[in-house]
Amino acid sequence: LENSSEKMASRSFSEEDFSCPVCCDIFKDPVLLLCSHSVCKECLNKFWETKGSRECPVCRRRSSIEHPPRNLVLKNLCETFLQERSQRSLEGSETLCSLHSEKLRLYCLDDQQPVCVVCQTSRKHVNHKLCPMDEASQARKTEKQIKEDFEKLHQFLRDEEAARITALREEEEQKSQMMKEKIEKMSREISALSDTIKAIEEEMETEDILLLQVRNNHKSVCTFQF
């Protein structure tokens, strides 16, 4: 069974052939309904819960089986397909579509991935916005350049703001230091003036005492003469 699956998967199947009709991704644990349609087990359970009845998501045929059997053949095919796609990617075929072996000439803007002309018509990319690879590449380069320019501008503005704040702080510190020095100078001048006034007052007191003594001595002399 495994060898048969490998041979079948090696044929030119596309990703769409192994995609669940509900989630549109590669089948995960697929189950087989009586109508022969396969669906991911989890997708089927969610679909039945939403609908409130057991019917096929594709043809709407009702199922009498509550737990459909696993589709092991399809499961093995999907695993082999994924392994081969991964191997092709590792071998350096990045410029070729891993599903159709066609050159990746288009870029899907919705899925943000390169696609080939066959992918363009697949159900997975229906109604998606596509553009040439070189155009997308140029757009990405332009977008990257714009982001880099904006980042440089923002960094310049941040640096300019930091420089201005530093300059203002230094200016404030200088003004504060100058004011402090002026206050200290005024304090020293006031202290010196106070000392001068005190010295003058002491000198005046001394002169008053001497003058009083001279007067008293003069009176004593005059009294003695008479």
How far is the C-alpha of 111 from the C-alpha of 149, rounded, in Å?
27
List the structure tokens of 127: 């109604």
pLDDT at 52: 87
Per-residue pLDDT of the chain (226 residues; tens, 9 = 90+): 444 444 444 455 677 888 999 998 889 899 999 999 999 999 999 999 988 889 999 999 988 888 899 999 999 998 888 877 656 544 444 577 877 878 878 888 887 778 888 888 887 787 888 888 778 778 778 888 898 898 999 998 998 898 889 888 999 999 999 999 999 999 999 999 998 998 888 888 887 677 777 676 666 655 555 5
List the structure tokens of 26: 């590669």
Helix (H) or strand (E) holding 75: helix 72-90
Return the half-sphere exposure (C-beta side, CA atoms, 13 A cut-off) of residue 19: 15
User: Is 111:128 a contact under the CB 8 Å cutoff?
Assistant: yes
Return the half-sphere exposure (C-beta side, CA atoms, 13 A cut-off) of residue 138: 5
pLDDT at 2: 44
Write the burial class of residue 93 (CB in 10 Å: 0-12 exposed, 13-18 middle, 19+ buried).
middle
* 30-32 and 106-108 beta bridge pairing: unpaired
Reported pTM: 0.37
How far is the C-alpha of 70 from the C-alpha of 82, rounded, in Å?
19
* 130-132 and 106-108 beta bridge pairing: antiparallel
pLDDT at 212: 74
How far is the C-alpha of 71 from the C-alpha of 35, rounded, in Å?
13
The dotted CATH code for 1-91 is 3.30.40.10
Write the burial class of residue 23 (CB in 10 Å: 0-12 exposed, 13-18 middle, 19+ buried).
middle
pLDDT at 223: 57
CATH topology assigned to domain 92-128: Double Stranded RNA Binding Domain (3.30.160)
Going across the sheet that includes 106-108, the strands are: 113-115, 106-108, 130-132
DSSP letter for each residue of 162-180: HHHHHHHHHHHHHHHHHHH
- List the domain boundaries for the chain: 1-91, 92-128
